Copies of this chain bind each other. A is one copy, B any other.
């Protein structure tokens, strides 16, 4: 049986980014950049005032500082102009003069500092249309409250790299460099197909031997949370022809996620039907708990990907138990969807963190075990508490969890305070 790490590598070998396409900036959130982004301007485009105040010459202040104790410092300068947002200065600041400036406007020539308006008062004066500014500070140093041109971004600079996820901060930078459209990798299409004669639709009360379909809605939600386009195929029965038709539809997607029918049971038809449809098995069974019966293969090639190569539909046969399905999705399907979405290969791995066990915990694990757990943040860092959980059939246990704690193979007793690795959940 292969390990989780080996299975992860196999999946990675078959996952490559979808074709790039152009989308309006307002639709790009949470997608992945399919191009490097360079700036078409300097930011700021000129030396810029960081505050509302007066653009001045620092030397006008240093010359007038009263160094004697108890004597208040006082400088007054004639105001020659006011520059409001969206406008540019017309005058140069000469000695003895100041220009009133708003946050973000260009600092006038001649000025080398801006004094905040809060450190001044203003007075009308005969013959001076814009009056006089009195300053109650003399501590003015050249460069203060000025952001020099191109401090944040230089013309031509690479500001965002291909493969980066577009969050609100990236939206801001894209808008700043003038992008109204942006190339992103096409969102993956993910088909979801729970299988089993025991499954009934949610609106009904299960008769003897039946259970409600929970994997379908759950796996669809897992896909949506990754911004995939989800195709819900309904319920597949343990009946070859119906199963074949549904799987054929699912193979039109980038990823087909089945659940159930992959164990050693009499009606576990999924692998056989997949083989019939030329879906080639890459691996079956992984040394993990829950999730051992995981099946992974690749369907017939399509050319709708970034490299125009024969990238195939990725087919995951997840175990039927809901928590097994959930864990396998998180560990294997999620990175595949991320990679198809265009995330850089080195970054698609399931995020891993660690925390100190909040209480002793015993786990009898003949395989690497993923146990639902809760990360809390104390004053001294993260702690981890495994939640009450009754195994792969107990999805109720997942709702108290925000992480999967990883317990390596082997029966183990863990002390409180021991560091445990875990995968955070959303």
Contacts and interface: CB of A to CB of B under 8 A. Distances in A.
A45 interface: yes
Q: How many copies does the complex hold?
A: 2
Interface string A191-207: 00000111100111110
A152 B397 contact: yes
A175 B217 contact: yes
Given A393-B152, A396-B173, A398-B169, A209 B87 contact: yes
Interface residues of A, number: 111
A19 interface: no
A264 B118 contact: yes
Contacts of A401: 169
A379 B354 contact: yes
B398 A377 contact: no
Nearest to A154: B396
A396 B214 CA distance: 43
Given A88-B209, A173-B395, A354-B380, 17 more contacts: A25-B202, A30-B225, A45-B211, A52-B264, A86-B197, A86-B210, A104-B211, A167-B221, A168-B218, A168-B426, A169-B425, A172-B217, A172-B322, A176-B396, A351-B377, A353-B377, A353-B382
18 contacts: A26-B232, A41-B205, A44-B393, A52-B266, A85-B265, A87-B197, A100-B266, A102-B266, A105-B209, A117-B264, A151-B393, A152-B394, A168-B221, A169-B218, A169-B425, A173-B214, A180-B203, A381-B419
Sorted nearest first, the 4 A-B pairs with minimum C-beta distance are A86-B197, A169-B398, A172-B218, A86-B198
